[in-house]
Amino acid sequence: MMKKYLLLAFSLLFGLSQSQIIRKYSNEFLNIGAGARGLAMGGAVITNQDDVYAPMWNPAGLMSVERDWQGAAMHAEYFESIAKYDYLAYAKVLEEGVFGVSVVRLGVDNILNTTQMIDSEGNIDYDKITKFSQSDYAAILSYAFRPGGNPKLDVGVNAKIVYRNVGKFANGYGFGFDVGAIYKADNGWKFGGMVRDITTTVNFWSINQKELSTVVNGEEFNPAPKDKLELTMPKLNVGASKLFEINSSVYVLPEAGINVDFAKTASLISTDFASISPYAGAELGYQKMIFVRLGINRFQSITDIEDLKRKVSFQPSAGLGIRYRGLTLDYAITNSGIGGSNFYSNFFSLKLDMGAFRND
């Protein structure tokens, strides 16, 4: 019976993949990450994000939440405040694992709607211009545990529900799963990996054709897309890290790894099957109270618009953090890395660790 269900599921996914609905960058807002610490380190936290922000990088990291509960919030604005990104999260220690819930929103407000500006006879009426918002939401339920009680291995799972809204024009609903793991070796090294959208994430779209299209002189503009269903293909992130203690007060924590997209993209290594891009980052900590962070990520091979030559672009990042008892405030600044642009974004995140408060 189980074999039948597996064959049915495989056939369904294969059939969907043949209907041209796979998107390279579907639900890309969930790949931004959360928490200024991880963003400042260029995403180099696959093995060492050990708090409530872990679900966005590797849910296995939740197992490092050892006491009581943690809460977190982050806010950022892109492209001179045109787009706003917000994140809220909560993690609670249970008897045999850690449970987490996260909410994500990326939105652009006050977009001009000109679809009805021209009437059926070609006359322009500026009074018919309205405004709408485009927003992406996700709710993530996470659970981390140690299989068989093995202290060297942490495993985590995310269950995601996605809602995407494009004003009155379209709505999309989706669901998917992520799986991650962290292995702690005896020599102090940590090895980790996360597979995003491991079963593919499915989005179902509903299009309001009446609001979207307009007819001018008998010709239809803005026809509704034919595909009402899209799939987000899996992505793999793997890394390795080790903490080096300089002295009793200072430590350095570097991590390096690769990001793998199972699609052809602009990454440095790109094939029809997969595209690979490296990343690296490090954190310098003083008495576990003050932190300085650097990172580099998203290496791409692009064509320069002016001289039409190929060149390598990347996304640098940096940040600071300060912790007092159970309260941590982090800051990150990062470049979009698109074509050498200078669009820098500022990220602020706050974390409350109730276990640290009560322990003190």
Q: What is the largest CA-CA distance in the chain?
A: 78
pTM of the model: 0.82
Q: Which amino acid is at 223?
A: P
Among the residue ranges 20-34, 182-196, 270-284, the one predicted with the least confidence is 20-34
Q: Is the pLDDT of residue 16 over 70?
A: no
Per-residue pLDDT, averaged over 14-20, amounts to 39
7 — pLDDT class (breaks 50, 70, 90): very low
Q: Who wins on pLDDT, 226 or 302?
A: 302
How many angstroms separate the CA atoms of 51 and 60, rounded?
A: 10
> Is the pLDDT assigned to residue 2 strictly greater than 60?
no
* SS3 state at 274: coil
Residue 304's SS3 state is coil
> Do the Cβ atoms of 169 and 212 come closer than 8 Å?
yes
In our burial notation (b when 16+ CB lie closer than 10 A, e otherwise), range 292-305 reads: ebbbbbbbbeeeee
Q: Which residues, 6 or more positions from 207, have their beta carbon under 8 angstroms from its beta carbon?
A: 169, 170, 224, 225, 228
What are the boundaries of each domain within the chain? 21-358
Averaged pLDDT for residues 225-232: 71
Please list, in sequence order, all residues whose beta carbon lies within 8 angstroms of the beta carbon of residue 209, skipping any fewer than 6 positions away. 223, 224
| In the predicted structure, residue 9 carries a pLDDT above the cut 50 | no
- Amino acid letter for position 159: A
DSSP 3-state of 220: strand
Cα-based angle 23, 266, 239 (whole degrees, multiple of 5): 90
The pLDDT score that the predictor gives to residue 258 is 94
Least confident of 17-26, 161-170, 285-294: 17-26
> How far is C-alpha 160 from the geometric centre of its chain's CA atoms?
12
Strand 327-335 vs strand 235-242: parallel, antiparallel, or unpaired? unpaired
**Which pLDDT value is given to residue 116?**
65
Side-chain-facing half-sphere of 213: CA atoms under 13 Å: 13
Looking at the structure, give the CATH architecture of the domain made up of residues 21-358.
Answer: Beta Barrel (2.40)
Please say whether the beta carbons of 352 and 70 come within 8 A: yes
More confident residue, 114 or 77: 77
How many Cα atoms occupy the beta-carbon half-sphere of 35 within 13 Å? 29
